[in-house]
Amino acid sequence: MQRRDVLKLGLASGLANFSFFSSGIQAEEGKLLKGARHDKLPQWRGFNLSEKGNKRWNGRFVEDDFRWIRDFGFNFVRLPMDYRLWIKDNDWRKINEQVLDEIDEAVQFGERYGIHVNINFHRAPGYTVARPAEPKSVWTDSEALDVCLLHWKTFAKRYKGLSNDLVSFNLFNEPDKIEPILAQCVAVHKAIIKGIREEDPNRLIICDGYEWGAKPFFDLADQNIAQATRGYAPTEISHYKASWVDSKNYLVPTWPINSGNGLLMSNSKREIKEELRGALIISGQFPNTAKLRLRVGTVSDTTTFVVIADGKTIFEHQFKPADGEGEWKTVVFKKEWNIYQNVYDRDYETVIPAGTQQLEIRVTRGDWLTLTQLAVWSEKAKQETSINLAPNWQQPPSKFLYRESDHKAELLGEVKDKTWLRNRLEPWKKLQQQGCGVMVGEFGAYSPCPHDVTLRWMADCLANWREAGWGYALWEFRGSFGILDSGRTDVDYEDFHGHKLDRKMLKLLQENS
């Protein structure tokens, strides 16, 4: 008897305790965590397996992955999948049973090795966070909703009767910025939940938060579902040098991060919100004469910026980016606006008078510029303290605090650390108090992020989630975010069955299991 026939026999029986291996195939040792409920999820620990994550490939799930995940001490996999893989002739109403049989294999592997299998539509009929977008939106189009219901009902029928300890459903992958149509999005979730429960009333359903998993759906708290957040904050660590996001201005990551917004815009840019056109502020006591160093990055068009100490201008400079040679390092001409936005990457210095209590750095005329580094030399401490800056068009220029003693000078900006991460969990803890189980459906850092930074950041994330009682799934098991074959250039890999194992990352995850 073929495995898929065994599975179908089990599904047809409708017995929740049916074993795929009752036909004589013996399960290896592996114990599923028991008691999976919408209001209190087990503390699952595991990985995303992306063999069916995109139409461009259609891989079979690998049994060795499940065995190794079990042997490493983990108990959960999430299967982010593209629905286009299981339709026929590009007709989204026709289901290809052969591909569903391959998904059944993963469920079988899960039972064999004691691993919970979370089935996710990474691309659902009518919705994806990826590109290209779906032709029709499930949030606003009735046909797309009908088809999405058809697909989820197909899965609900297929796995009806299987224990929630083995299988759960994850409806949509991290809905993006949907707030303009939040009510429609909530209504669609409720319709899908209702459709699944018409086929399988007891199926455990997990809904990702919206705005890329950052915000919980409080309007779904009464639907007897769990919800999943993400562990990608801050993105300057998780997505450093990632081509699929706008990461060109990300600084080389550190952790904790002490940084700030170095974009300065002229007050004449009336199309920009007033609060975004302010000054960069440095507050604190400068008891002795000090030196301020500002590294200018990009300058847009003819622009003037000044430094003001307690209301008095102590430095002013006009930039005139143009073609040819000049103060700049790189000429950049923007044809669409007929202006130059040259890259200067150059330091400018001024003396801070003793007794200064506040510095303002602002653009007074022209367009905008970016500061990439801010530094103060303390004559008394014989030390320079500096902060790297990155432009952010969505936030006002940052505020910094300067502190000086006989032997130390400090410049404090926007600090992102373990406490900052914990504070971001508060909305999800509030959701948890309303009877929704919570987990972290994806997290990790792309391979270009320095390995030591990645591990320190991951340790703080994991400690916060352990404290909250939440499980997690690393993106991914094998690949650029994972513990196997990540392609990181700064890892001392260990050979593992022909794969390159990141033992340090694995050990960190195991210590938080």
Q: Does 20 score more than 50 pLDDT?
A: no
Condensed to tens digits (0 to 9), the pLDDT of residues 397-432 reads 999 999 988 788 889 998 999 999 999 999 999 999
Residue 79 has pLDDT above 90, yes or no: yes
Nearest residue to 43 via CA among 465, 510, 471: 471
Q: Which of 67-76, 146-155, 284-293, 401-410 has the lowest mean pLDDT?
A: 401-410
At the top level of CATH, which class does the domain 257-416 belong to?
Answer: mainly beta
Lowest mean pLDDT among 274-283, 290-299, 449-458: 274-283
Percent of the chain with pLDDT over 70: 94
How much is the pLDDT for 16?
37
pLDDT, one tens digit per residue, over 457-513 is: 999 999 999 999 999 999 999 999 999 999 999 999 999 999 999 999 999 999 987
Nearest residue to 352 via CA among 303, 416, 264, 291 = 291
Mean residue pLDDT of the chain comes to 92
SS3 call for 423: helix
What the block records as the tokens of 503 is 């033992």
Tell me the per-residue pLDDT of 117-146, one tens digit each, with 9 for 90 and over.
999 999 999 999 998 999 999 999 999 999
**The pLDDT value given to residue 95:** 97
- DSSP type of residue 151: H
Q: Which residues contact 45 (CB under 8 A, 6 or more apart)?
A: 73, 74, 75, 76, 471, 472, 473, 509, 512, 513
Is 80 a residue whose pLDDT tops 70?
A: yes
Least confident of 8-17, 87-96, 112-121, 502-511: 8-17
In terms of pLDDT, which residue wins out, 382 or 158? Answer: 158
- Burial class (CB within 10 angstroms; exposed 0-12, middle 13-18, buried 19+) of 91: exposed
Confidence of residue 360 (pLDDT cuts 50, 70, 90): very high
How far apart CA 200 and CA 424 sit, in angstroms, is 35
What's the Cα-to-Cα distance from 495 to each of 61, 68, 97, 338, 506, rounded to whole Å?
Answer: 22, 14, 38, 55, 13
Task: Answer yes or no: is pLDDT of 253 > 50.
Answer: yes
According to DSSP, the residues that pair with 474 across neighbouring strands are: 47, 443
Q: What is this structure's pTM?
A: 0.86
Q: How confident is the model at residue 270 (pLDDT cuts 50, 70, 90)?
A: low
Local confidence band at 4 (pLDDT 50, 70, 90 cut-offs): very low
- Give the pLDDT confidence score for residue 28 in this predicted structure: 59
The structural domains of the chain, with segments of one domain joined by +, span 3-242+419-487, 257-416
Which of 8-22, 127-141, 165-179 shows the lowest mean pLDDT across its residues? 8-22
pLDDT tens-digit profile of 293-310? 999 999 999 999 999 999
pLDDT band at 57 (very low <50, low <70, confident <90, very high): confident
Cβ atoms < 10 Å from Cβ of 177: 11
Q: Give me the mean pLDDT over the 91-120 stretch.
A: 97
| Rounded distance between C-alpha atoms, residue 510 and residue 501, angstroms | 14
Residues whose CB falls within 8 Å of the CB of residue 355, separated by 6 or more in sequence, listed in order: 286, 287
Q: Decide which of 179 and 270 is more confident.
A: 179
Average pLDDT score over residue span 237-265: 90
Contact 171, 204 (CB under 8 A): no
Identify whether 234 is preceded by a cis peptide bond (ω within 30 of 0). Answer: yes
Q: What is the pLDDT of residue 14?
A: 36
Q: Tell me the helix, strand and coil percentages in the chain, rounded to 5.
A: 25, 30, 40
Q: Distance between CA atoms of 246 and 237, rounded to whole angstroms?
A: 13
The third-level CATH classification (topology) of the domain covering 3-242+419-487 is TIM Barrel (3.20.20)
Of 65-74, 132-141, 172-181, where does mean pLDDT reach its minimum? 172-181
| Mean pLDDT value of segment 98-102 | 96
Q: Which residues pair with 208 in a beta bridge?
A: 228
> How does DSSP assign 217-254, residue by residue?
-GGGTTSS-EEEEEE--SHHHHTTT-TTTT-TTPPPP-
| Helix, strand, or coil (residue 508) | helix
**What's the CA dihedral at 322, 326, 331, 334 to 10 degrees?**
-20
